[in-house]
């Protein structure tokens, strides 16, 4: 048993960050990052199983979920926030360094963290971060709007009732979810009741692009390869953002020293599509790393 989930708040450079934790502090640490415009609730069906024998923390990135807002959302802000959450929740207090599990946009934040602080972590599992050959990426953006391309100066609309707001909630890229009630859960916790109705929680300012993060889009495959430290990639077999050709491209670029695992029947939002298979994939990587560490310590 892992015990009940605990919710808390920490301060990261003057911004309140909402987090959840499962398992016992003092167990090997694991920290979970969500995707763009999502929140830590995306891990609700996954985290308890990962917390068996581990201390798991998931948090809402600033400007999303129930975390506070900042004036800007830069790469430096995101990385500093991750480090502060890990520090204040005891993730750095264990003899074993924390592993990061990150979905989509959270994967980009994680790559930046590894580039700046790889010695602080024992590994990273990147889940369905968009990575394509340059020509495939160009074709993709001819057909699809860039992620996060909304107007940052447009305030969030207030809907007259929850049903009207819920009707506007869609996953990005658009897809049906394998477990519909998990999407209902995500939608409910993406909204807040305000005067006059219901409104999205996210800060529109998150759409204002950080030039450093913008310039890294084209190099995501190379960044995955070059990121220091131990890593793994997990993706949805039917994902529109990372597929078998993406995996082949990473191998061609030289990514031959880390696992790339496909979750059958899953699309981009793996934890909402195939949560049980997602748990199995994550645990297989985590347990293989634990076994490797035990062998190394006994040599």
pTM: 0.95
Structure tokens at 71: 């004036």
Q: In angstroms, rounded to a whole number, what is the distance separating the alpha carbons of residues 217 and 210?
A: 11
Tell me, what's the pLDDT at 141?
Answer: 79
Instruction: State which residues of the chain have pLDDT below 70.
Output: 1-2, 145-149, 212-215, 299
Q: What domains are defined for the chain?
A: 6-143+210-298 (3.40.50.1820)
Tell me, what's the pLDDT at 299?
Answer: 65
Residue 78 near residue 117 (C-beta atoms within 8 A): no
Tell me, what's the pLDDT at 298?
Answer: 74
**Measured CA angle at 220 (ends 291, 277), to 5 deg:** 45
Structure tokens at 226: 């070059």
Instruction: Give how far Cα 285 sits from Cα of 183, 196, 267, Å.
Output: 26, 47, 20
Tell me, what's the pLDDT at 11?
Answer: 97
pLDDT digits (tens, 9 = 90+) for 248-295: 999 999 999 999 999 999 999 999 999 999 999 999 999 999 999 888
Q: In angstroms, rounded to a whole number, what is the distance separating the alpha carbons of residues 78 and 113?
A: 9
Tell me, what's the pLDDT at 145?
Answer: 66
Q: In angstroms, rounded to a whole number, what is the distance separating the alpha carbons of residues 128 and 139?
A: 19
Tell me, what's the pLDDT at 156?
Answer: 95
Tell me, what's the pLDDT at 148?
Answer: 57
Q: In angstroms, rounded to a whole number, what is the distance separating the alpha carbons of residues 79 and 19?
A: 16
Q: In angstroms, rounded to a whole number, what is the distance separating the alpha carbons of residues 79 and 216?
A: 15
SS (H, E, C) the chain: CCCCCEEEEEEECCEEEEEEEEECECECEEEEECCCCCCHHHHCCCHHHHCCCCEEEEECCCCCCCCCCCCCCCHHHHHHHHHHHHHHCCCCCCCCCCEEEEECHHHHHHHHHHHHHHHHCCEEEEECCCCCCHHHHHHHHHHCCCCCCCCCCCCCCEECCHHHHHCCCCCCCCCCCCCHHHHHHHHHCCEEEECCEEEECCCHHHHCCCHHHHHHHHHHHHHHHHCCCCEEEEEECCCCCCCHHHHHHHHHCCCCCCCEEEECCCCCCHHHHCHHHHHHHHHHHHHHHHHHHHHHHHC
Q: In angstroms, rounded to a whole number, what is the distance separating the alpha carbons of residues 183 and 203?
A: 21
Tell me, what's the pLDDT at 131?
Answer: 97
Tell me, what's the pLDDT at 253?
Answer: 97
67 phi/psi in degrees, rounded to 5: -85, 165
Determine how many CB atoms are found less than 10 A away from the CB of residue 157.
12
């Amino acid at each position: 048993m892992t015990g009940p989930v605990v919710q808390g708040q920490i301060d990261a450079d003057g911004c309140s960050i909402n987090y959840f934790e499962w398992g016992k502090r003092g167990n090997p640490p694991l920290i979970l990052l969500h995707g763009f415009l999502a929140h830590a609730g995306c891990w609700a069906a996954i985290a308890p199983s990962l917390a068996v024998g581990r201390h798991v923390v998931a948090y809402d990135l600033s400007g999303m979920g129930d975390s506070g807002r900042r004036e800007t959302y830069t790469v430096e802000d995101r990385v500093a926030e991750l480090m502060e959450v890990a520090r204040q929740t005891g993730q750095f207090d264990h003899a074993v360094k924390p592993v990061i599990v990150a979905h989509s946009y959270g994967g980009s934040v994680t790559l930046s963290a590894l580039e700046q602080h790889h010695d602080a972590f024992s590994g990273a599992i990147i889940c369905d971060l968009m990575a394509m050959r340059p020509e495939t990426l160009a074709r993709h953006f001819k057909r699809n709007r860039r992620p996060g391309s909304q107007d940052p100066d447009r305030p969030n609309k207030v809907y007259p009732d929850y049903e009207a707001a819920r009707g506007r909630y869609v996953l990005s890229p658009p897809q049906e979810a394998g477990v519909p009630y998990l999407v209902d859960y995500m939608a409910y916790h993406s909204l807040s009741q305000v005067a006059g109705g219901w409104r999205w929680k996210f800060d529109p300012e998150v759409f204002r692009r950080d030039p450093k993060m913008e310039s890294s889009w084209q190099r995501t495959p190379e960044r995955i390869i070059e990121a220091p430290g131990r890593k793994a990639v997990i993706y949805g077999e039917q994902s529109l953002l990372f597929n078998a050709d993406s995996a082949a491209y990473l191998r061609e670029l030289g990514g031959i020293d880390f696992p790339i695992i496909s979750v059958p029947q899953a699309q981009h939002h793996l934890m909402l599509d195939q949560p049980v298979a997602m748990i199995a994939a994550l645990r297989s990587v985590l347990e293989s790393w634990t076994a490797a560490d035990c062998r190394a310590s006994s040599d």
